[in-house]
Amino acid sequence: MSELSIEHCSKYYKKNGEPMCVLKEADMVARGGRFVSIIGPSGCGKSTLFNIIAGLSKPSEGRVRLDGRDITGESGHVGYMLQKDLLLPWRTILDNVIIGLEIRGVPKKKARERALPMLQKYGLKGFEQDHPDALSGGMRQRAGLIRTLLDDKDVILLDEPFGALDAQTRLQMQNWLLQIWSDFQKTVLFVTHDIDEAIYLSDEIYVFTPRPGRIKAKIDVGLPRPRDEKTLMEDRFLHLKRELLLMLREEREPSG
């Protein structure tokens, strides 16, 4: 279990000749095995932050460290599930999830043998040979996450994986994710718009301000695990929910 730390990361883009700040001096730590959520309004730089952590984009300033080692700008150290499911439409589900293994040079046959039980255990039994367009949104997200898990990194970044799902499927997927998380003991960084989702899943929540995204608060959830539907009714849950709602409402109000 690895610890990820983000030290003073900022990102500027040039827009109409002026530098525009989309992420400002983010400092955060995700300790080993923790489930950490990031919540904030659209456009506050959440995906930008993930791209920086995954090494797909360089921060304008600041560093990213994995267990103390500087990995700023290097890709391939953390698992990253982007905002879209990004399955390859010409590959079957089975062949989609093994692509990370293929890249590492694992022979296709071996990779398939390794992936098959995973698919069957985590809700994709019977869909292994289907193409992605034959699957529901929730199924596709499962496949996307299994692909990330098979890549076997200690830290995984999930960018709004359930954003496009209906409420019912969403809750189902949240429980599914919690099961996977406890089975695999990963450090998870999770982006969401949804307050309930953030509280239900996380150990800690970072609240971002609107653009330029800064960290406004860090909240320790402190709800016992394992969590289930009853958690949603607990006083602590409702208290946190109110706190977060107020915090995000403040942000929406124009401040001057």
Ligand X SMILES: Nc1ncnc2c1ncn2[C@@H]1O[C@H](COP(=O)(O)OP(=O)(O)OP(=O)(O)O)[C@@H](O)[C@H]1O
Binding stretches for ligand X (CB under 6 A): 13, 22, 42-48, 83, 211
Q: State the binding partner of 132 from Mg ion, ligand X, other proteins, none, CB within 5 to 8 A by kind.
A: none
Q: State the binding partner of 99 from Mg ion, other proteins, ligand X, none, CB within 5 to 8 A by kind.
A: other proteins
- Identity of the residue, 54 or 240, whose beta carbon is nearer to other proteins in the bound complex: 54
Q: In this structure, what are the phi and psi dihedrals at residue 194, rounded to the nearest 5 degrees?
A: -100, 120
Q: 109: burial class by Cβ within 10 Å (0-12, 13-18, 19+)? A: exposed
Q: State the binding partner of 244 from ligand X, other proteins, Mg ion, none, CB within 5 to 8 A by kind.
A: none
**Residue 50 DSSP class:** H
Report in angstroms how near the CB of residue 81 gets to Mg ion at its nearest.
12
51 binds Mg ion (CB under 5 A): no
> Which residues would be at the binding site for other proteins (CB under 8 A)?
51, 54-56, 75-76, 78-80, 82, 84, 86, 88-90, 92, 99-100, 102-104, 131, 133, 151
Q: Kindly state the number of chain residues that form the binding site for Mg ion, as judged by CB under 5 A.
A: 1
Q: 125: burial class by Cβ within 10 Å (0-12, 13-18, 19+)? A: exposed
* Kind of pairing between the strands at 4-15 and 18-30: antiparallel
- Identity of the residue, 32 or 41, whose beta carbon is nearer to ligand X in the bound complex: 41
Tokens standing for 10?
């900022």
Q: In this structure, what are the phi and psi dihedrals at residue 41, rounded to the nearest 5 degrees?
A: -65, 160
